[in-house]
Structure 1
């Protein structure tokens, strides 16, 4: 008997969970705002200290709320690495360097997967549903994941191009604005497209299995 996708699409819910919800967006944005604001008025060592303290405070807050340790530690680690790079190089703009290069890596991964006809969102959907579905054989499903993965690639690519330009222009304030503006809003839009592709895959493949 062939396996069918679950009645409830846990894959879509997993994507939303990984985003951390509104609080996750706030916790990822606050250290950036604090760093840029502090850097405008304070010496770099104090800016680093305040940013790290903000990351620690947010980590403690999320632990008190009972959030997953991995998510909270990931946010804290991101801040710690960013301020560590700044402390090492002595340049405030390097607070954003890791994010810029991660955006490039994300673009290469997502766009590359579309080029080789194995869009990443489809691979993830299939893995979350047992890894046994011939999703690439269904044109509508494959097209949906082409669209979803391309949307993610567009977000990563736009982030890299704009923030790298601001980095080369040595605009720390501009980088902060770009990180906030291109963070939550674009992530939400891309996530909505991914959720649509996940649900479309579940519906199409469930219908195909039922017709057999």
Structure 2
């Protein structure tokens, strides 16, 4: 090193590149640990589509009203796991309060209008049964099953599910490591110090 701040040795370069790769991997790991999002449509045919869904703890279900008729997403208080907090569009803390407050066209009452959404993150394992207040009598019911790993295939051997974010992380980490190794090889093979920046 000649004391010039724009000069970097091979070792310095390798240390810097390794640090960048480690930071990239750490950021990717944080992303991979976030829960998945699942969408359930609420339709003018007065159904939840799909009406049954299986998710992993920490996953979020988003109910989207794809029609024009207002709906609610209201948990059956006696049909959710005992450790789970009560949940319903409108933010009510009991089924009775949700039923009493519901008013068509009023979002504060739990009505989810056309084009609007309601979402809930599930932490407690078990089956959570729910319904639409104005259309319960015509069978607008649904359920969310929360289990480790989320949905699994109904037949055949059980295959571990790898989240998309974990696959992305593995690919990005692999590319970063290959890049660092290739650059390190180049600098080790050709040796010497190299100017970083424009030459005069």
Taking structure 1 as the reference length, the TM-score comes to: 0.30
Taking structure 2 as the reference length, the TM-score comes to: 0.31
Q: Which has the higher helix share?
A: 1
Q: Which has the higher strand share?
A: 2
